[in-house]
Amino acid sequence: MLFLWLYMFYSCAGSCAARGSPLAREEGSPEEQRARSSVPSAASPISSFFNGSGTKRLPQAIIIGVKKGGTRALLEFLRVHPDVRAVGAEPHFFDRNYERGLAWYRDLMPRTLEGQITMEKTPSYFVTKEAPARISSMSKGTKLIVVVRDPVTRAISDYTQTLSKKPDIPTFESLTFKNRTTGLIDTSWSAIQIGIYAKHLENWLLYFPIGQILFVSGERLISDPAGELGRVQDFLGLKRIITDKHFYFNKTKGFPCLKKAEGSSKPHCLGKTKGRTHPDIDQEVVQRLRDFYRTNNMKFYQMTGQDFGWD
């Protein structure tokens, strides 16, 4: 009889606890219990692979800038890597949609398996005063990537993009100066203001150590995409899978393209909005802008430990 009782006790231990033991009951309101029941239980990477699931995670790495620096190219190149999963569209969470909350932001992310990195890119973060504190609040360990480009060329590219949408805007030359006679540069114009990289970086360094920010050269991303991607993969802790074999140079567009894009067997170049022909700008204005940016560029080189060769 004792043997039979012990057999029944141990046989029931697992199933009875699951069904009715107070220890097995979920705590919380009915709504919380329903929410928990709707969340898939943890699965192994193998089972996740076969059933097409995965987990939506907040990004571990973000491309935070800069506009017209080459952020779209970098993201498209990175998405070739099997361990990188990224949002295609710019979420603009930390500058425009922060009030929607982290749950909304997480839901935008692609599902990832264990060992994969979730990423997004929104170039306006770099110049948004509130963004560093907000990202730090989400995770102090977030890795940040900034694609920078000669600020004069970047400003002209920025203007060219606006011109394509608003053909009646004033000339680049007239927008550059508060007073052209005195040569006073209008730093309130966003096309000029974005390129004052050192000033913006100071804000980020209040919340993140310099070693947690990778600075990618927009110029080298064109001349040596595999080399820059090698640095990015190292920074993200990824195996160097993206190499020279993934690129070919498109002479018509003037920048590298992928031989095979993510999820495709066909070559892929960035769209027609990339690589626009710049308008001719008065060289005196270009030189004045170079003089304006020179001191700031030197400070930026010192802060980052990199000479980008813009002067």
- What span, in angstroms and rounded, lies between the C-alpha atoms of 119 and 283? 39
Give the pLDDT confidence score for residue 81 in this predicted structure.
97
What confidence tier does 31 reach under pLDDT thresholds 50, 70, 90? very low
Among 110-124, 142-156, 190-204, 259-273, the minimum mean pLDDT is found in: 259-273
Cβ burial, residue 290 (10 Å; 0-12/13-18/19+): middle
Q: How many CB atoms are located within 10 Å of the residue 24 CB?
A: 11
> In angstroms, rounded to a whole number, what is the distance separating the alpha carbons of residues 35 and 32?
5
Question: Hey, what amino acid is at 203?
Answer: N
Mean pLDDT of all residues in the chain?
Answer: 85
User: 56, 67, 68, 166: which is the annotated catalytic residue?
Assistant: 68
Q: Sorting pLDDT into bands at 50, 70 and 90, what band is 277?
A: confident
**How many percent of the chain have pLDDT more than 70?**
79
- Supply the pTM of this predicted model: 0.80
Helix residue spans in 131-252 (DSSP H): 131-138, 151-165, 172-176, 190-193, 197-204, 218-223, 225-235
Does residue 68 carry a catalytic annotation? yes
Quick one: pLDDT at residue 274? 59
72 is in an annotated binding site: yes
Closest by CA to 155, choosing from 254, 285, 251, is 285
How large a percentage of the chain has pLDDT more than 90?
A: 71
From CA 187, how far away is CA 5, in angstroms rounded?
85
**Candidates 3.40.50.1820, 3.30.565.10, 3.40.50.300, 2.60.40.2700; CATH matching 55-151+190-276:** 3.40.50.300
According to the model, what pLDDT value does residue 180 have?
A: 82
Q: Give me the residues paired with residue 256 across strands.
A: 249
Torsion region of 114: left, alpha or beta (phi above 0 gives left; psi -120 to 50 gives alpha)? beta
Phi, psi of 282 (to 5 degrees): -50, 120
Cα(304)–Cα(211) distance, rounded to whole angstroms?
Answer: 9
Residues in the chain: 311
Residues 6+ apart with CB under 8 A from 298: 311
> Is 260 labelled a binding residue?
no
CA distance 98 to 107: 14
Asked if the model's pLDDT at residue 6 lies above 70, the reply is no
278 labelled binding-site residue: yes
Whether residue 311 is predicted with pLDDT greater than 90 in this model: the reply is no
90-131 residue pLDDT tens: 999 999 999 999 999 999 999 999 999 999 999 999 999 999
Strands (E), the chain: 55-56, 61-65, 84-86, 111-112, 117-121, 143-148, 177-179, 184-185, 213-217, 247-250, 255-258
In this structure, of 10-24, 170-184, 254-268, the range with the lowest mean pLDDT score is: 10-24
Beta bridge partners of 250: 255
Distance CA 128, CA 30 (A): 41
Q: List, in order, residues 6 or more apart from 143 with CB less than 8 Å away.
A: 60, 61, 62, 212, 214, 235, 236
Domain ranges of the chain: 55-151+190-276
Look at residue 209 and tell me whether its pLDDT is greater than 70.
Answer: yes
Indicate the DSSP class of residue 185.
Answer: E
pLDDT of residue 213: 98
Q: What is the pLDDT of residue 258?
A: 92
Let me know if 155 is exposed, middle or buried by CB neighbors in 10 A (0-12, 13-18, 19+).
Answer: buried
What's residue 181's pLDDT?
80
Answer yes or no: is 69 a known binding residue: yes
Question: Which whole number is the average pLDDT over 10-26?
Answer: 37
Residue 22 has pLDDT above 60, yes or no: no
Report residue 156: phi and psi, to 5°: -65, -40
Given a cut of 80, whether residue 28 has pLDDT beyond it is: no
8 Å CB contact between 103 and 257: no
Q: Note whether 148 and 198 are within 8 A (CB).
A: no
> Band of the pLDDT at 174, cuts 50, 70, 90?
very high
Summarised one tens digit per residue, pLDDT across range 43-101 is 344 434 444 579 999 999 999 999 999 999 999 999 999 999 999 899 999 999 999 99
Instruction: Determine whether the annotation assigns residue 68 to a binding site.
Output: yes
